[in-house]
């Protein structure tokens, strides 16, 4: 399917909706949810287990990265191969990174070659909101949403006036954070424009393997974002969203055999130049009293150019994706609605490695019926995907919500999911299998949602996920559909305000097993806990975070144990004037020596180093215009 096919589809489809002024407002609210059904709705009305971080939450929590936010979500564990800018994996409800769908402003960003979303390169200063859906949403999104969906929304403007801002921060290991932006709007037009430049001297991510590894692995990130929307009367809106991030991440590579005679290092440290970009445009139309429609077209790029001292030359892996999404919401009556849509996208690969195939397309149609009654509510969805490589897939989901009383709800749900093989799985020379089938999953879940008190909210889940045709490498490192997995889990989140203190507690217990061997799936901790405490004292705010992660295994055979760890962080902010705010963050206050992943060198296993105690002091200026 070529680009001309996309252009033809755009010309034939009617006008449609995504984020106009109404959704820009919804992005700033913690009690709304957009990703579950691809439109704004009250969070309490969705059967999806979810966690939401607004811009206000981000500024209060002062995370250094997206993974810092995700570590607060019950059932989510991130694993980094070193410090800032290092490769980051996300394990959502015991599934692996490639089984979690990551979106930016509604567009897929994962590399079509590796399946990685490169979350380590997304700058938090460019983010308005993060939504995490726990549990399969393949009936709405198709491939890769077995564990759940993570959606990131870029910065948005306000309805009236101009609002400039600038931030400068300096921290340990010669870390600099610089960002500035301007947002604003009027009754018809809104915009947000921002840019940032971050860099750090970094840490030595691995033990010494070669002389050139005796260095600190630096990281540099330049980011730019733009959001623009305009309303053409009451029934039609249009807009565009852009996120562009590029930079360099240095790393160590302690693997393999190195011959200085064959390949001279000449002082060159290994590094990757990365470039992630995401552009989308939309039309949003109220076509009739009960019919709202949206059309969104987008283009994303995930490019990486690496120089590795162990191999001469340069490795290039660039993937490109063009997408077209059509969504229609039809209100049948006061209690029922239909969601109907179609998705179309094409992946292309440009690499220094020669692949047998370098492009493929996927087209899909889906429908979902929602009913909301006094005694119960239901949601039933069905999706059909047709892929150029693996053929057709049908997935469906169903949910039943039963209110026990005004303060307690029970939610029962079932969902199917699948993951399409990547280009590496299918076509990487010597280590691929073009006959691979998609992975398939079935998930069962029961949730209890309770407003225990006026300022106390509890949400708890029990779930089971079965994965068949799981893709795993055989003894020749060739992927095969050979494994089956079973994941049992329980998670809970408790939000409470007591004596002026805001607390957010997230706990999760997960038992991810290989059904053939009985081994625990590698790099998945079975117990995680996150606790945030915050309070304001007039112009001063203080807070702290405690994170605890149990031990796990680095390898599928469960021979290499990764020790558990606990981390304590403190933060504070002072609104010195109406325009100037100072903030201070202390990470790993107890200076714990810990690791999240291991690597093997000459038969021994070593841990990727993580950052020790660190501090960051920043100032934010928001002048009035």
Q: What is the pLDDT of residues 579-617, one digit of tens each?
A: 999 999 999 999 999 999 998 766 678 888 899 999 999
Q: Note the pLDDT of residue 12.
A: 36
Q: Per the structure block, which two tokens stand in for 583? A: 């903030």
Answer yes or no: are the C-beta atoms of 508 and 91 closer than 8 Å.
no
- Check residue 161 and give its pLDDT: 83
Q: Is the pLDDT of residue 138 over 60?
A: yes
Q: Taking 70 as the threshold, does the pLDDT of residue 18 lie above it?
A: no
Do 202 and 173 form a contact (C-beta atoms < 8 A)? yes
Say what the pLDDT of residue 13 is: 36
Residue with tokens 């949602």: 449
What per-residue confidence (pLDDT) applies to 257? 43
The model carries a pTM of 0.93
Question: What does the chain come to in residues?
Answer: 625
Contact 176, 169 (CB under 8 A): yes
The Cα 244–Cα 112 span in angstroms is 18
Tell me: the pLDDT tens digits for 487-546?
999 999 999 999 999 999 999 999 999 998 999 999 999 999 999 999 999 999 999 999
CA 409/CA 44 separation, integer angstroms: 10
Structure tokens at 260: 């200085």
What is the per-residue pLDDT for 232? Answer: 94
Burial 171-203 (b: 16+ CB within 10 A, else e): bbbebebbbbbbbbbeeeebbbbbbbbbbbebb
| pLDDT above 80 (res 159) | no
pLDDT tens per residue, range 356-408: 999 999 999 999 999 999 999 999 999 999 999 888 999 999 999 999 999 99
Residue partners of 349: CB distance under 8 A and separation at least 6: 112, 113, 317, 318, 319, 320, 355, 358, 359, 423
Which CATH superfamily groups domain 3-621?
A: TonB-dependent receptor, beta-barrel domain (2.40.170.20)
């Amino acid at each position: 399917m070529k680009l001309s096919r996309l252009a033809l589809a755009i010309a034939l489809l009617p006008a449609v909706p995504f984020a106009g002024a109404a959704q820009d407002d919804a992005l700033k609210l913690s009690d709304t949810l957009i990703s579950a059904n691809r439109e704004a709705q009250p969070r309490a009305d969705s059967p999806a287990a979810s966690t939401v971080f607004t811009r206000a939450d981000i500024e209060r929590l002062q995370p250094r990265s997206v993974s810092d936010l995700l570590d607060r979500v019950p059932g989510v564990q991130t694993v980094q191969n070193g410090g800032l800018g290092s490769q980051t994996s996300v394990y959502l409800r015991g599934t692996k990174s490639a089984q979690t769908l990551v979106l930016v402003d509604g567009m897929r960003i994962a590399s079509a070659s590796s399946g990685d979303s490169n979350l380590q390169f997304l700058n938090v200063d460019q983010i308005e909101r993060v939504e995490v859906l726990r549990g399969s949403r393949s009936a709405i999104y198709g491939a890769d949403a077995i564990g759940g969906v993570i959606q990131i929304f870029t910065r948005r403007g306000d309805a009236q006036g101009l609002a400039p801002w600038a931030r400068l921060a300096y921290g340990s290991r010669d870390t600099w954070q610089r960002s500035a932006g301007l947002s604003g709007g009027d009754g018809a037009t809104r915009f947000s424009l921002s840019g940032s430049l971050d860099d750090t001297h970094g840490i030595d991510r691995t033990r010494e393997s070669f002389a050139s590894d005796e260095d600190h692995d630096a990281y540099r990130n330049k980011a730019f974002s733009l959001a623009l929307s305009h309303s053409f009367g009451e029934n039609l809106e249009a807009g565009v969203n852009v996120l562009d991030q590029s930079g360099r991440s240095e790393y160590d590579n302690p693997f393999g055999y190195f011959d200085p005679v064959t390949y001279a290092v000449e002082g060159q440290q290994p590094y990757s130049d990365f470039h992630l970009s995401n552009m989308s445009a939309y039309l949003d139309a109220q076509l009739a009293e009960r019919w709202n429609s949206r059309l969104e077209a987008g283009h994303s790029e995930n490019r990486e150019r690496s120089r590795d001292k162990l191999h001469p030359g340069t490795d290039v892996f660039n993937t490109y994706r063009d997408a077209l999404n059509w969504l229609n919401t039809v209100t049948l009556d006061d209690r029922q609605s239909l969601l109907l849509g179609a998705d179309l996208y094409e992946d292309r690969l440009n690499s220094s490695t020669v692949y047998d195939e370098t492009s493929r397309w996927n087209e899909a149609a889906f429908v979902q019926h929602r009913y909301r009654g006094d005694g119960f509510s239901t949601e039933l969805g069905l999706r059909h995907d047709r892929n150029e490589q693996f053929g057709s897939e049908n997935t469906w989901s169903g949910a039943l919500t039963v209110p026990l009383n005004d303060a307690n709800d029970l939610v029962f749900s079932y969902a199917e999911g699948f993951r399409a093989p990547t280009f590496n799985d299918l076509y990487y020379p010597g280590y691929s299998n073009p006959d691979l089938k998609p992975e398939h999953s079935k998930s069962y879940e029961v949730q209890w949602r309770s407003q225990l008190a006026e300022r106390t909210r509890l949400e708890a889940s029990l779930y089971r996920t079965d994965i068949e045709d799981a893709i795993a490498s055989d003894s020749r490192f060739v992927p095969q559909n050979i494994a089956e997995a079973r994941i049992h889990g329980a998670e809970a989140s408790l939000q409470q305000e007591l004596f002026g203190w805001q607390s957010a507690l997230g706990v999760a217990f997960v038992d991810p097993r290989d059904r053939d061997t009985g081994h625990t799936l590698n790099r998945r901790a079975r117990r995680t806990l996150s606790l945030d405490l915050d309070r304001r004292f007039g112009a001063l705010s203080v807070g702290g975070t405690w994170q605890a992660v149990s031990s796990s295994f680095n390898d599928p055979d469960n021979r290499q144990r990764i020790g558990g760890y606990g981390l304590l962080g403190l933060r504070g902010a002072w609104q010195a004037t109406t325009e100037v705010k100072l903030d201070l963050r202390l990470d790993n206050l107890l200076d714990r020596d810990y690791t999240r992943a291991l690597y093997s060198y000459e038969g021994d296993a070593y841990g990727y180093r993580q950052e020790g105690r660190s501090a960051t002091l920043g100032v934010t200026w928001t002048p009035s215009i």
